[in-house]
Structure 1
Amino acid sequence: MKADWVTKIADRVEENVRQNKGENATVVCASGISPSGPIHLGNLREIMTVHLVAEELRSRGWTVDHIHSWDDYDRLRKVPKGVSEEYAQYIGSPYSDIPDPFGEYDSYATRYISDLVDSLTKLGIHPRYIRQSEAYRRGDYVEQIKQAMRNRLDIFDTLAEYQNLEGQKQTLEERRNAYYPFKVYCDQCHKDITRVTAYEDETARITYTCDNCGHNDSYSLYDKVEGKLVWKVDWPMRWSFEKVDFEPGGEDHSSPGSSYTVGQRIVKEVYGWQAPYFVGYAFVGMGGRSKISSSAGTSATVSSALAIIEPAILRWLYARRANNQAFDIDYGQGLLRLYEEWDGLVRQINKGVASEVNAKLFERATHTVSEEISYAKNTIPFPVLTSVLDVTQANEEQLLRIASQQLNAAEGQDVTREQLEPRFTCALNWVTNYLPDDERTHINSEFNDEAFANFNAEDQASIQMLAERLESSWNLAAITELMYSIPKIVRGLPVDAAPTNELKQAQRSFFIAIYMLICGTDTGPRIPTLLLSIGKERARLLLTPSRNGDNGQSAYELTAH
């Protein structure tokens, strides 16, 4: 079998670990996110990339430590959509110290961290979480900070090689002498709009001035760590501290002068360690036409995706695309096609006819080394569920009755909602929150005499016959059979007549006639599902011609005499 992208990355990581650490070492794979706001599907790509590689290595017998850093000690840069503009007062303060905008969590950071942790748990992803605000303030990195401060001039020289000097007000030498790779959070205003003015290595004392409020102060790193290394030093510092073997990043991180390029040098020259194996990953976004979209200010968050996509299917979406391949997750009608594609894969797996590539993808999507990932075992087609929920206005009893027929449940053994999960809830959420109003199925309130008058005689007769036979055929299988046999009967053909182009056109004309009478359009949900969804009485009302109409009488005569 041709190796997929996960296998190829795992091969390289494995090779590097053997060379740098030895055969029995723990492989450290790292991911990290700054909880600056709602955490979206692009962020998930970093974690999922690490998780899938870590799982591949575990399956080979390696002990793997997947660490995930919450960069909650980063500064707030801007106020995200959906948060009061009053929060502009916190720009420059660490996320961990900003109050939750909605008063439910102990901080701004915890709100967005908690939402993603819940989602990752559903996806079977369980990293070792590190909150950087806690790690810094505990003093975990004091020696590493001191190392950076001692080497501040060398670090400046490395960074300067990649900087554009245009527009700089100070000379290179002035900037070099004033440079310290550490940003203090001011004791007075709690912002990082500060400048370190002196550092004493023996006592680890930092002296600073705040350009925001004018406060001047000093403290020893041995007493507290109110601040953090600048990003291009912080990242390589943590590689050395955690002994990281693999960490991906956005494609912009690997361009010339980027964080990874600079970090490779700093981790070696300052910390005496090697950079981890790195791959860039491409963008993942929100696509499709739906009631809400990212352009309208609604983020394509991981939790929003899991509200409409089964966990195993979401894993599958990330596993089947190479890390450098961008893609969108469709929140519109494309979601229905996604479910149909997944169901096709499940059928292949159950029949034992899936290719090696697809079988491996299915395994990555549905299992980790320690657990099975949730997906619907009773696979009622997602379009059927959404159609019924749409037409019945989310009538659960009606849906379960139709689902029981779809699954051929035994008499007295009706399907329960729990047996349809997690798909039932995904379908309900999609119909409720994402199906545009102009794509909903409209159901007529009375018989459409005008439309009926425009049907040809065969379609009128077919409609009348359908209305008459609904009583004795009121189940999914019988209505389905009826749909295809009626056009044959009306034309004097046996019900087992072989399909011809002419017969197929006749059946299509009949289906359009039904849609026109029920929905007022020439398309709609599958007709058997549609009829069962609206109920027997309403179906008969909409399909039975008015007795005071000539066309209704002629249709009746054509079928009854």
Structure 2
Amino acid sequence: MTDTTLSETARNSKAWPFQEAQRLAKRLRNGKPNGEPVLFETGYGPSGLPHIGTFQEVLRTTFVRRAYEALTGQATRLVAFSDDMDGLRKVPDNLPNQAMLTENLGKPLSRIPDPFEKYESFAHHNNAMLREFLDRFGFDYEFVAASDRYNSGTFDDALKNVLAHNQDILDIMLPTLRAERAATYSPIMPISPTTGVVLQVPVEVVDASAGLIRFTDEDGSVIEQSALGGQAKLQWKVDFAMRWVAQGVDYEMYGKDLTDTGVQSGKIARVLGGNKPEGLIYELFLDENGEKISKSKGNGLTIEQWLEYGTDESLGFYIFPNPKSAKQLHAGVIPKAIDDYWSFRQRLAEQPLDKQMGNPVWHLARANESLAGPDAPGAGDTLSVPYSLLLNLVSVLGLEATPENLSEYVASYTGTPVEDPALIRLIECAVNYNRDFVAPTLAKRAPQGTEVAALTALDARLAAAPADADSEVLQTMVYEIGKSEEYGFENLRDWFRALYETLLGSEQGPRMGSFIALYGVEPTRKLIAEALAR
């Protein structure tokens, strides 16, 4: 496949990353001057540790970045920007050294000691956690800390530009603020020379070209000092716009909760002589009750929790579709995400290029090493046993299930030892998922009415089944009983529901032929005997 073929196909793709890339390419036309790389940015507030929202924003931005490269063949960069000059507003409950942090409230995060006592500041600790987090998933990015840019003077010219347009920015922002907030609002926030706190006070611009400002400090004294070299920082919406312009950001997405920020920051960017970058506004995650996920409520699902019950690539797969639609994020979505990922992965090799570009696995394979999809070392293009079937098997084994005995069943079913790393990983995930979500909810009921006769008939058929009966033969046996007028099932769905509820203890279940082949004929007959004994 040539670059020309790839580019031409990308131009017509309806997949959302290509739609975003096409908008950006239309704006940039022939790329950036002098062949400069197109700049994608994602922002991070380092007052807390990176979480699933951080992952999805970097991943989705990477989807668009790779789509843009395929579309244009132009060089790109991705910057992960940490706003570590932000003042600490409140002390998180889950951190050590609470008293020390309380004493440092209001100071820039990069100038507060690390409560974990490992790094030179609280921000340095959390920035390190961010980089470790992004490296863990193999993202290709450049890390930029606001403190480095402010303190080194890199942002000085941009800050002078803000001061020169101070009143223009006030004209944009003041109408959006409550009267009380407007009374103290200033685009630039000086850092107190006495306390080191980021001040929310009115500021007078004395000399914009020199970066000189005047304000009243916390002790009531009038201070005249430079806003340059890390002695001040900008308000969030102004900072957003300033770094867009100063760094030449071409693409940045953000959540629906920052819609107003994007509007106001876009206006400020134009005042500063630049433009708002391209980017989409994505919907936020919801919990299983459809409520917005809140870190303070703890009603979401963490990266660590997902990876206990699922895989990196299944999380990426779940995040890929429809970024403008809200997604429920809870443990119940994991099994389907895993099986759907493998279904799309198996389909990929047989698809023409235009269909591949709409396949989430195509995008995951290009996002980073962790989500490499079909090219993952040691992983096959198909799974010998779907995750849903593993869950059904492990639910029968109950809390006594282990990766070892589950692997034995799978090896007996497939006729080969379990050596595929992808399958080994999913067996571990299935045991964990069963332990925490399946086993505690199972309740096998007694068969009722004609169900007793139908189960007895199934047991007799299984007893007479040839030793080498495969899943199709076993499935046919199950079907024939369900279809027989002798047992009076109105439809097959009622028969299968009876099997699931009496043998497995759940309302839904697997393709029974595959389950019986995996679990074994004699163990299945034992399940039937236990059900009839009820």
| 8 Å contact kept, 1:385–1:424 | yes
Q: Runs of 5+ in structure 1 lacking a partner?
A: 492-497, 553-561
The structure that has the greater radius of gyration is: 1
More helix by share: 2
> Residue 233 of structure 2: which of 208, 228, 243 is its match?
228
- Answering whether residue 277 of structure 2 is matched by residue 276 of structure 1, we say yes
Q: CA deviation at 1:201?
A: 5.3
In structure 2, C-alpha distance between the alignment counterparts of 1:100 and 1:163, rounded to whole Å: 36
Q: How does 1:328-347 map to 2 (within 5 A)?
A: 328-332=328-332, 334-347=333-346
Q: How does 1:30-429 map to 2 (within 5 A)?
A: 30-59=41-70, 60-80=72-92, 82-83=94-95, 89-99=103-113, 107-110=121-124, 112-160=126-174, 162-164=175-177, 166=179, 180-193=186-199, 195=201, 196=203, 199-200=206-207, 204-206=211-213, 208-211=215-218, 220=226, 224-251=229-256, 253-254=258-259, 258-270=260-272, 272-287=273-288, 297-321=298-322, 323-332=323-332, 334-352=333-351, 356=355, 359-368=358-367, 373-374=372-373, 377=380, 378-379=382-383, 380-390=385-395, 391-393=397-399, 394-406=401-413, 408-410=414-416, 414-416=417-419, 418-420=421-423, 422-429=425-432
Q: Which sits farther off after the overlay, 390-399 or 40-49?
A: 40-49
Q: Which sits farther off after the overlay, 143-152 or 63-72?
A: 143-152
Residues 305, 93 of structure 1: CA spacing in aligned structure 2 closer, same or farther, 3 A cutoff? farther
Structural RMSD (CA)? 4.5
Residues 299, 194 of structure 1: CA spacing in aligned structure 2 closer, same or farther, 3 A cutoff? same
- 1:372-398 alpha-carbon deviations (Å, 9 max, x no partner): 615763523112233344435341111
In structure 2, C-alpha distance between the alignment counterparts of 1:225 and 1:487, rounded to whole Å: 74
| 8 Å contact kept, 1:207–1:217 | yes
Q: CA deviation at 1:6?
A: 1.9
Percentage of pairs with the same residue:
21
Q: CA deviation at 1:107?
A: 4.6
Residues 15, 389 of structure 1: CA spacing in aligned structure 2 closer, same or farther, 3 A cutoff? same
SS class of match (1:367)? helix
Q: Runs of 5+ in structure 2 lacking a partner?
A: 1-11
Using structure 2 for the length normalisation, give the TM-score: 0.76
| 8 Å contact kept, 1:39–1:301 | no
- 1:264-289 alpha-carbon deviations (Å, 9 max, x no partner): 3433433x333322432222334379
Residues 215, 47 of structure 1: CA spacing in aligned structure 2 closer, same or farther, 3 A cutoff? farther
In structure 2, C-alpha distance between the alignment counterparts of 1:545 and 1:437, rounded to whole Å: 17
- 1:498-556 alpha-carbon deviations (Å, 9 max, x no partner): 9656679499888777767755677666667877998999777665589xxxx99xxxx
Q: CA deviation at 1:351?
A: 4.3
Q: How does 1:522-561 map to 2 (within 5 A)?
A: none
In structure 2, C-alpha distance between the alignment counterparts of 1:382 and 1:48, rounded to whole Å: 24
Using structure 1 for the length normalisation, give the TM-score: 0.73
What is the count of residue pairs matched by the alignment? Answer: 507
- 1:133-161 alpha-carbon deviations (Å, 9 max, x no partner): 2221222112222332243233323333x
